[in-house]
Structures are given as structure tokens and as C-alpha cells.
Structure 1
Amino acid sequence: MRPPSFSGAEGPLAAEEFLKVTETILTVTRIPHAEWVDLMDIQLTDTARIWWTTEKAHLERPISWDTFTDRFNRKYFPQSARDELLRRFVELKQGGRTVDEYEAEFSSLSRYAPHLVTDPTIRRHQFQKGLPKYIRFALAGRALATHDAVLDAAREIESVQKEPEDPHVIQSRTPAVQARNVERPPPRQQQQNPQRQ
């Protein structure tokens, strides 16, 4: 099993993913920890390889994995990128997505805001505030204590909202014709024919 490669052009999220997947594969394959940094000469490509070649020339040997990840993150997953992901999490709204799509992004971005998700009450509140108004309004009367309970209720509300109209219910779309006050001619009086004499 070969760890993924990283060129340096993929962006901060890809850099984070590269490190996570690499660490997982290296752990599972039981490659000695001391050899992990040496493998980066193979896994890093293009500008990332050029950066690492220059960077490691200034580091004391042996280079630890912690030193490598610290330098790698400073370059490819800096604090400014983490701050941006935190901002995206705090401002996250469901928008035109489904509740499940919103929840997936909420969970993905929540790792950048551990202080907002470790407390279940704060996590529930943070999730709920990104839901559309019609769902928040429907949730207002419910005593939901956990994130999972809010998620289930939001799915249910969304499902009901998307249900098609019942075709068996016939509703008139035209207003009833109002009775009009029409002037009617006075009732006919019987004309009396003059009797002939």
C-alpha cells in the first residue's frame, strides 16, 4: 500500500488530507516510525519536493515526523487557512442543500472549531442556527437536547415540507361567484283588457 503523493498545488484541505492518509497507511503497514520522513522524498512531487529539499537542508538530523509535519503544515496548511475554515464553520448555513448535505459539511468543518462542538448544547445550538427559518420555527416548540435529536427532527420537517400536494384533495382555485345585486324589473302587473260592452 503506497501513501498518496502531494505536489503543493492542491490547497490546504488536500494538504491536511495528505498527512492524515499518509500517517494512517504508514501506521497500518507497520513501517518503522524512523523511516517516515525519508518516504517524503518519494511522496512529495513538483513544488512540494523542491520545498522539502530546501527545508530539510537546514534541519538537524535525524528529522522527526513531528518536525516534518510542523514544517509541512506551516507551509501548506497554515494558521490562516485554519482560521478561514473556522470562519466558514461559524457562518455555515444550509442554504439550498438538503439537511443531510448541510450536516455533512457541518461535521466536516466542525473539526476546526473543537471549542464549539465538544459541548453538546453548543454543538446543537450551532447546528440549529444554520438551518432555514421554517425548520427553526418548527423546532422552536420541541425540547431537543442533542445534535442527533435536532438532526432527526430537521430531516422530518424537511421531508414533510417537500411532500407533494395530495391529489385526492380538490381545491377550487377560482373564487366563488358572489351574488350580484341586479336590478330586476318590477313584477308584471296583469293588464286588464277592457271588457267590451
Structure 2
Amino acid sequence: MAVNRQMHQLIEQFLKLKPPKFNGRGDPEAAPRWVEELEKAFDVLGCTEAEKVTLAVYQLQDSAIDWFATRDRVFPEESAQERKLAEFMRLRQGQMTVDQYEAEFARLSKFAPRMVENPRDKVQRFRDGLKPDLRSKMISLNIRDYGEMYERAQAIE
């Protein structure tokens, strides 16, 4: 594998292997089994350590995402970059206006450049963080351009 391959290509290849999701709940053996399954995919794809972290984060759900975001208390050597990446992963519009949400999205996406380098991924991640009613309207419009997504969300709001 080329060292400089595009992250979105790697993510597509990874997802084709149908790796398991992990939500942080269930029996204590779930986490080690999940890691073993991911390691198989990582071996097939020849992943670097940094790529492994990024890909594993894609498979986190629910309380496991919260753990990822707070793990710096358990592993203090985690960098500020990784904390900002986790913050980006958790970003949701919540009570923010579309403008405020977009500003946060733009600020935090700088810490996760590989997650937004593919325009499709960027639009999807932005859309998925919108309030549920707004998100469902955006899904039905099938918008594939980030600027258009942002403008339509502002208009609907």
C-alpha cells in the first residue's frame, strides 16, 4: 500500500470489509473481540498506527464515543490534536444556530482533515450533526455540495 494513500479511499476499503461497530456496552469480552476483528481488517489493509486510530473511531457508537472523548483522563499522554478530533466526532448542532454550528464545524474540522477531505464525507458529517428535523429535510433534498448544504440549512432554519 502506498504510504500517501487518500484517507477516504482507505475508509471505503475498510468499510467494504464490514468491520464491527462498538458501542461500549455489553459483556466485558466485547471490547477485546472488537479489537481482534478490527486488527484483521487493519492487517489486510496494511494500516499505520495513525490510520488504525482514525478507522477505529469510525466504528465507535453511543457511549464508546463518549469514552473516546474523555480518555485523556485515563491516558493523559493523548495530544490536544486527538482531543479536538474527538470533539469534532461528537459535534452536534444542539441549541446552536446553523451559523454557529457551521463555525464550530469549520473550526474543529481543521483537527480532522482526513475526515473532511472527501467532499461527500464532509457534507455527510455536517448533515449528520444537524438537529433531527433539519437533518431529515437535508437528507430528502439529497444535497452533495457543502456550501449548498449550509445555505439550505440556513434558509430552512
**Structure 2 length normalisation: TM-score?**
0.49
Name which structure has the greater RCO, CA cutoff 8 Å, separation 6+: 2
In proportion to residue count, which structure has more helix? Answer: 2
